[in-house]
Amino acid sequence: MATSTPTSADIPAARPLARKRARPGDQIFHAAVFSALLIALAALVWLLISVVAKGATALDWDFLSSQTSSRASRAGFLNALKGSVVLMIITIAVAVPLGFAAATYLEKFAPLSRDELRVITRRRRRALELRRAAGELTGPRLLASRLGIALSAVWARIGPPLNTFVEINLSNLAAVPSIIYGLLGLALFVQIMGISKSLLAGGLTLAILVLPIIIIASREAIRAVPRSIEQGAMALGASRWQAVRSHVLPAALPGMLTGTILAMSRAIGETAPLVVVGGVAFGTAVPSINPLNAANEDLFAMPLQIYTWVDQPQEDTWGPLAAAGIIVLLVTLVVMNLLAIWLRNRFTRRW
Amino acid sequence: MAAPRRRRRIALALIATTMTLGTIAAGCGGDDEGGSTGSGGDLLGKVLVDGSSTVGPLTSAAAEDFTGENGGVDVSVRTSGTGGGFEVFCKGETDISNASREIKDEEAKVCADAGIEYEELRIASDGITVVTKKGGVVGDNLNLTLDQLKAIWSKGSKINDWSQIPGGGFPAAKLTLAGADSQSGTYDFFNETVLGEDAAGEVLSPRQDYSASADDNVTVKAVTGSAQGLGYFGYTYYEENADSLAAIALDGVAPSAETITDGSYPLSRPLYIYVSKASLAKPEVLAFTKYYVENAVTLAEELQFVPAPQDSIDADLQKLAAYE
């Protein structure tokens, strides 16, 4: 075997794997792993069955279209539904641009070392001198360019350690319990910035909660695009930003969107941070779906409403409502996850 | 290259469609759906309520009925607990604070320092009901004295069996305990009334080896799930589970709507709302408070609360009359 080069016909013979016989250790391990899966699935199935059995009777159009109430016979899910929609709009509007930009920076611009940054600065300085000699740059524009170059020289010094610091903390942030984000949101948005305890404060809190998740997922997606694509573009004279914008980001977008949707399905189920930021148990005003009004709307959300209903003493009357609410929330989650899977399968490229 | 580009276009179109739909929905939703339903009444404004989650549903029901007649007013109710409610109330952030106990001296001091004056209005009653499982070996018509209860719940108590209860004469049965946790107004009230205070005036803390929960439904489950456990929670939760739970009479008085309203049941407590005087100057808050107190008894009966006695309702209305 060592003397001749193996051909395709030789390979099966050289690896006598077909002779494997099941050993008892293997079988026990197999059974153990499989039953672990079964236990996890059984818990899920039991949850689904009990929730559907309890909530199916309460779930109808009236439930979805009427306001919440302190009488179980009249109570509906409308406030919670609309509140959650507004929360999602605000969260996406804030977290997605920030998250995508941060991921692009961290993946494509931050890894530049001090030496690379210095080379770039030197190159820019040389170009500036050339243009100045040609008389193209004068007065304030010259001053502005000089300032820019001075800043990039400073950045070459402090940038890389700062990036390392951000990098380390980012992974830590994704693991912080959500109630801590609630306290952060309460302190930052409500107490310092003076936003009322409203859908706006809740949406902003959820945005900072999912930001690390979006950044991490987007970075993975950007990293999956081969460097050769970007290098090819740069070799043809594109600047780094041009290469990233026109080649890397479009290719990474499906992955980034998938990560975003998964982050959103985390945000839509969060209860604890919203309780801390000032979620209401009851309110007579149905929130408007217009996110520009969010600063004046009571903080309603699907999980908050479920929590309030479960907490009531009359379990036989409120229980079905809570279960119906859980069904709506679960369906929303499943739809969002399906969308994420579909996006991934449909648009992801194999390189 | 053609296929991937088309795909990318589809992705972009997808995003664009989502955003457009969102904007359209936002535009449509903006104008007509902001306020509450109902019409009539010329009051306008917003009433903010926070506080006890026990009182919350009653206030919510009052708010619902009131705004049905006064479409311009919106009421929102948060349930941060009695203590949490007073915290924001004394900062002037809310108009009304629901409370399942009287305001504490230190809370009153914070309010006074911030210049927040208030009216205390009693709107219903509650009785902390001590229960065990129905049909157990100790029987259903039990009586305990407050001293026996104190002996069971005191810090360092070694009573883990019904036969160990001093002067009880109960048969041997394992005694597991369940009750409220320290976040709850029920916890404060139970300890204050049953355990009392030490020489320095501090409320004694209970033994630590019991299953504690802020959610009374969890305590109900803990008692019904144990062989012969003992637990306490609000009267409403007992009423809801009366088929599986046996209420224990205290000092010979069994908990009932009557004994709780008139205060003869030892663990009965009034439920209050605290209304800021500054807010009472606003017509919508005054109108809502008045409506609430006037309908407190009917609402309490509808929502399975124990009503407040009529003379305390009359006294409340007297107080409010001064602001007309």
More confident residue, A79 or B185: A79
Please give the mean pLDDT across all residues of chain A: 87
**pLDDT (0 to 100) of residue B232:** 92
Partners of residue B84 in chain A, C-beta under 8 Å: none
Q: Is the pLDDT of residue A255 over 60?
A: yes
Q: Is the pLDDT of residue A1 over 60?
A: no
Please give the mean pLDDT across all residues of chain B: 84
Contacts of B304 (CB under 8 A, 6+ apart): A313, A314, B236, B239, B240
Taking CA atoms, what residue in A is nearest to B88? A278
Partners of residue B46 in chain A, C-beta under 8 Å: 285
Percent of residues in chain A assigned helix, strand, coil, to nearest 5? 75, 0, 25
Among A289, A293, A314, select the one facing B304 at the smallest CB separation: A314
| Cα Rg of chain A (Å, integer) | 28
Name the pLDDT band for A26 (thresholds 50, 70, 90): confident
Contacts of B164 (CB under 8 A, 6+ apart): B158, B175
Per DSSP, the residues of A264-317 read HHHHHT--HHHHHHT--SEESSPPPS-GGGGGGS----HHHHHHHHHTSS-HHH
Q: Is the pLDDT of residue B29 over 50?
A: no
Q: Does residue B57 sit at the A interface (CB-CB below 8 Å)?
A: yes
**pLDDT (0 to 100) of residue B24:** 47
Q: Does residue B124 sit at the A interface (CB-CB below 8 Å)?
A: no
Chain segment A201-230, per-residue pLDDT in tens: 999 999 999 999 999 999 999 999 999 998
Contacts of A220 (CB under 8 A, 6+ apart): A255, A259
Name the pLDDT band for A92 (thresholds 50, 70, 90): very high
Name the pLDDT band for A9 (thresholds 50, 70, 90): low
Question: What residues does B177 pair with on adjacent strands?
Answer: B230
| Pair type for strands B118-133 and B230-234 | antiparallel
Q: Is the pLDDT of residue A133 over 90?
A: no
Partners of residue A311 in chain B, C-beta under 8 Å: 53, 215, 217
8 Å CB contact of A346 and B27: no
Domains and CATH numbers, chain A: 61-108+176-347 (1.10.3720.10)
Q: Is the pLDDT of residue A253 over 80?
A: yes
**pLDDT (0 to 100) of residue B59:** 94
8 Å CB contact of A67 and B8: no
Chain segment A100-120, per-residue pLDDT in tens: 999 999 998 888 888 888 888
Q: Is the pLDDT of residue B280 over 80?
A: yes
How far, CA to CA in Å, does B44 sit from each of B68, B76, B96? 13, 14, 17
- Distance, CA of B32 to CA of B127 (rounded, Å): 44
Contact B73, B43 (CB under 8 A): yes
**pLDDT (0 to 100) of residue A5:** 56
Residues 275-294 (B) with a CB less than 8 A from some CB of A: none
Q: Is the pLDDT of residue A62 over 80?
A: yes
Among A257, A285, A291, select the one facing B35 at the smallest CB separation: A285
**pLDDT (0 to 100) of residue B32:** 39
Among A311, A314, A316, select the one facing B215 at the smallest CB separation: A311
Of all residues in chain B, the percent with pLDDT exceeding 70 is 87
How far, CA to CA in Å, does B241 sit from each of A78, B134, B248? 30, 10, 14
CA distance B29 to chain A (A): 5
8 Å CB contact of B67 and A284: yes
- Amino acid, res. B236: T
**pLDDT (0 to 100) of residue B30:** 38
Q: Is the pLDDT of residue B20 over 70?
A: no
Tell me the mean pLDDT in the region A28-49: 93
8 Å CB contact of B30 and A290: yes
Q: Is the pLDDT of residue B4 over 80?
A: no
8 Å CB contact of A313 and B64: no
Domains and CATH numbers, chain B: 45-125+270-321 (3.40.190.10), 127-268 (3.40.190.10)
Among A288, A312, A347, select the one facing B29 at the smallest CB separation: A288
Partners of residue A315 in chain B, C-beta under 8 Å: 217, 240
Taking CA atoms, what residue in B is nearest to A288? B34
Chain segment B129-179, per-residue pLDDT in tens: 999 988 888 888 888 999 999 999 998 888 888 988 888 788 888 898 999
Of all residues in chain A, the percent with pLDDT exceeding 70 is 93
Q: Is the pLDDT of residue B27 over 50?
A: no
Tell me the mean pLDDT in the region A295-314: 89
Q: Is the pLDDT of residue A349 over 80?
A: no
More confident residue, A318 or B3: A318
Among B26, B33, B240, select the one facing A313 at the smallest CB separation: B240
8 Å CB contact of A70 and B303: yes
Per DSSP, the residues of A197-213 read SSHHHHHHHHHHHHHHH
**pLDDT (0 to 100) of residue A16:** 57
Both tokens of residue B320? 């409010």
**pLDDT (0 to 100) of residue A185:** 93
Among B4, B30, B77, select the one facing A280 at the smallest CB separation: B77
More confident residue, A102 or A314: A102
**Residue B6 burial by CB count (10 A; 0-12/13-18/19+): exposed, middle or buried?**
exposed
CA distance B284 to chain A (A): 14
**Best interface-test mutation with B: which of A68, A70, A87 has the largest number of B CBs within 10 A?**
A70
Q: Does residue B36 sit at the A interface (CB-CB below 8 Å)?
A: yes
Among B8, B64, B304, select the one facing A250 at the smallest CB separation: B8
**pLDDT (0 to 100) of residue B28:** 44
- Distance, CA of B268 to CA of B204 (rounded, Å): 19
- Distance, CA of B237 to CA of A330 (rounded, Å): 29
| H and E: helices and strands count for chain B | 13, 12
Q: Which residues of A touch B (CB under 8 A)?
A: 67, 69-71, 82, 85, 89, 197, 250, 253-254, 257, 278-293, 298, 308, 310-316, 343, 346-347, 349
Tell me the mean pLDDT in the region B21-35: 44
Partners of residue A346 in chain B, C-beta under 8 Å: 7, 10
CA distance B150 to chain A (A): 27
- Distance, CA of B191 to CA of B154 (rounded, Å): 9
Name the pLDDT band for A288 (thresholds 50, 70, 90): confident
Among A285, A291, A349, select the one facing B36 at the smallest CB separation: A285
Q: Does residue B11 sit at the A interface (CB-CB below 8 Å)?
A: yes
Chain segment B64-122, per-residue pLDDT in tens: 999 988 888 999 999 888 888 999 999 999 999 999 888 988 999 999 999 999 999 99
8 Å CB contact of A282 and B77: yes
8 Å CB contact of B11 and A253: yes
8 Å CB contact of B56 and A282: yes
Among B33, B79, B240, select the one facing A314 at the smallest CB separation: B240
Sign of CA dihedral A41, A47, A50, A56: negative
Chain segment B221-268, per-residue pLDDT in tens: 888 888 888 999 888 888 888 888 999 999 989 999 889 988 899 999
How far, CA to CA in Å, does B143 sit from each of B51, B52, B254, B257? 33, 30, 8, 18
Question: What residues does B120 pair with on adjacent strands?
Answer: B274
The region of weakest confidence among B46-55, B196-205, B269-278 is B196-205
- Distance, CA of A74 to CA of A63 (rounded, Å): 8
What is this model's ipTM?
0.74
The region of weakest confidence among A155-169, A186-200, B3-17 is B3-17
- Chain-centroid distance, C-alpha A254: 13
Residue matched to tokens 């770039």 = A120
8 Å CB contact of B53 and A281: yes
| H and E: helices and strands count for chain A | 14, 1
Q: Is the pLDDT of residue A167 over 50?
A: yes
8 Å CB contact of A284 and B234: no
